[in-house]
């Protein structure tokens, strides 16, 4: 029996679409199935709408700063419904772009859930069956909801972009980058934000000094941050109107929950408060359930991740997986790079492992945190290091009377002089770390940084002017 497709992709996010297009460009016959909106988490429920909301939330600070510089600016009311309409229109446009890219590549799109029946057989929800020489799982991830009575009263990150109006107050549960980004966004939009995190400090896994500065900045913005704290119990309080979530942003298979009026929350620190809404940002899980993978021999890990080798191949030779469903590094550019390596390996005859070393990332808090390489804590556990670090008030905000500080930090190997890690907490840190990551990836030494002439006056010039380590370890 022959094959209907050379490649069938399950999942229409960044990784799946890139793999489909690139494979089709080699002459392969490719099909793709997606059960929700094209574009996946990044375009529809993640990076893109989040960053647009980051932009929206930054204007109150910008207008206050403009006033200090002599402009007659003042902060007016924020029109969430108008913003939401424009946001959804932009996401609709981007979804159309993704569909157009597939159409232009000659890849038919099947708007149905799909599962695997055999190593080479895909079955759509409408009963259609396809045989494919290779199958790629690119179904991404989804937010977790805690196992807590009445947890369905709360939102998860997918729901935020569909709010019909802003709550006056919100409790955000979690301390990772999604929780912290949402706390800063909503606080910037005028929402009274409380944040609970059960750990000792937010942004676990990032450099301790950097995440400490971010936490201080968040508190200075009025975010009521409580570490070592979690929800003990929650339930509806009173009969105030619901704060509904719009259907347009919901995955097709599940309408999002709405907050049924105020929610009373008892915390492990003994407090009891009422919030308009609760947002759970307590982690994400791979979207591997219901695909029939284990039934045909694909190994699934403890958190539901599809287990793959360095070439993104599963235990079943015809089945591969890329992106968040593998739970390697859950970032859009990583999923895209994994997809490109997959196509090079399978369709171009160039076995290409994925390079997951020294991947830069940014947390879009206020200020932003950009990072690449080892944290100080990780590095000193491996070898002797020198730490070069400076914290200061940047010229622009200091002139306006803002007391906030930024951080520039390099972690350097004493033996090789290579820069092992770079960590920046500052406005536009995401832009800066992208450029610094090139040098770190190339193996630049501290002396390479020192030989680079500073661009003055900038914040980033401090990365090449720090001459003496602040500490060794």
Q: How far apart are CA 307 and CA 214, in angstroms?
A: 34
Q: How far apart are CA 275 and CA 17, in angstroms?
A: 40
Cα dist from 134 to 310, 314, 339, whole Å:
17, 11, 13
Q: Please check whether residue 385 is in contact with residue 376, taking contact to mean a CB–CB distance below 8 angstroms.
A: yes
Non-local (6+) Cβ contacts of 388 within 8 A are 409, 410, 412, 446, 466, 468, 469, 470
| 349 token code pair | 């005859």
Q: What is the dihedral of CA 195, 201, 202, 208, to 10 degrees?
A: 160
Is 50 in a helix, a strand, or coil? Answer: helix
**Surface-to-core class of residue 242, CB atoms within 10 Å of its CB (0-12 exposed, 13-18 middle, 19+ buried):** exposed
| 312 token code pair | 């993104």
User: Where in the sequence numbering do the catalytic residues fall?
Assistant: 456
Residue 275 sits at the vertex; the CA angle it makes with 271 and 279, to the nearest 5 degrees, is 100
Q: Please check whether residue 30 is in contact with residue 157, taking contact to mean a CB–CB distance below 8 angstroms.
A: no
Non-local (6+) Cβ contacts of 427 within 8 A are 366, 367, 368, 394, 396, 397, 406, 459
Non-local (6+) Cβ contacts of 425 within 8 A are 210, 213, 214, 217, 367, 368, 369, 370, 406, 407
């Amino acid at each position: 029996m022959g094959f209907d497709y050379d490649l069938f992709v399950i999942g229409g996010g960044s990784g799946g679409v890139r793999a489909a297009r690139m494979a089709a460009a080699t002459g392969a016959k490719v099909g793709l199935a997606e059960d929700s909106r094209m574009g996946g988490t990044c375009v529809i429920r993640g990076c893109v709408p989040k960053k647009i909301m980051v932009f929206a939330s930054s204007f109150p600070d910008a207008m206050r700063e403009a006033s200090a510089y002599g402009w007659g600016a003042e902060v007016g009311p924020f029109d969430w419904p108008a913003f939401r309409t424009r946001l959804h229109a932009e996401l609709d446009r981007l979804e159309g772009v993704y569909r157009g890219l597939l159409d232009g590549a000659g890849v038919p799109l099947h708007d149905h859930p799909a599962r695997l029946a055999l190593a080479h057989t895909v079955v759509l929800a409408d009963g259609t069956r396809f045989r494919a020489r290779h199958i790629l799982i690119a179904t991404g991830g989804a937010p977790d909801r805690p196992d807590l009575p009445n947890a369905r009263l709360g939102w998860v990150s997918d729901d935020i972009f569909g709010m019909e109006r802003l709550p006056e107050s919100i409790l955000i549960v979690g301390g990772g980058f999604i929780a912290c980004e949402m706390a800063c966004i909503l606080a910037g939009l005028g929402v009274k934000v409380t944040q609970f995190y059960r750990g000792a400090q937010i942004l676990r896994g990032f450099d301790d000094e950097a995440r400490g500065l971010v936490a201080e900045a968040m508190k200075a913005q009025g975010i009521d941050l409580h570490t070592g704290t979690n929800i003990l119990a929650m339930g509806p309080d009173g009969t105030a109107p619901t704060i509904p979530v719009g259907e347009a942003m919901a995955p097709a298979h599940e309408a999002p929950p709405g907050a049924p009026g105020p929610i009373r929350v008892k915390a492990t620190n003994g407090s009891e408060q009422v919030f308009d809404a609760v947002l759970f940002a307590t982690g994400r899980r791979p979207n591997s359930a219901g695909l029939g993978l284990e039934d045909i021999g694909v190994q699934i890990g403890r958190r539901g991740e599809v287990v793959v080798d360095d070439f993104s191949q599963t235990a079943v030779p015809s089945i591969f997986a890329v992106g968040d469903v593998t739970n390697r590094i859950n970032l859009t550019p990583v999923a895209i790079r994994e997809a490109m390596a997959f196509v090079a390996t399978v369709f171009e005859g160039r076995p290409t492992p994925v390079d997951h070393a020294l991947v830069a990332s940014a947390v879009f808090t206020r200020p932003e945190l950009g990072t690449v390489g080892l944290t100080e804590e990780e590095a000193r556990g491996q070898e002797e290091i020198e730490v070069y670090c400076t914290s200061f008030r940047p010229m622009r905000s200091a002139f306006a009377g803002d007391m906030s500080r930024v951080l520039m930090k390099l972690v350097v190997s004493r033996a090789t002089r290579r820069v092992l890690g770079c960590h920046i907490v500052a406005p536009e840190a995401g832009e800066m770390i992208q450029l610094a990551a090139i040098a770190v990836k190339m193996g630049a030494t501290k002396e390479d940084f020192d030989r680079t002439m500073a661009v003055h006056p900038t914040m980033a010039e401090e990365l090449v002017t720090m001459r003496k380590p602040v500490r060794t370890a």
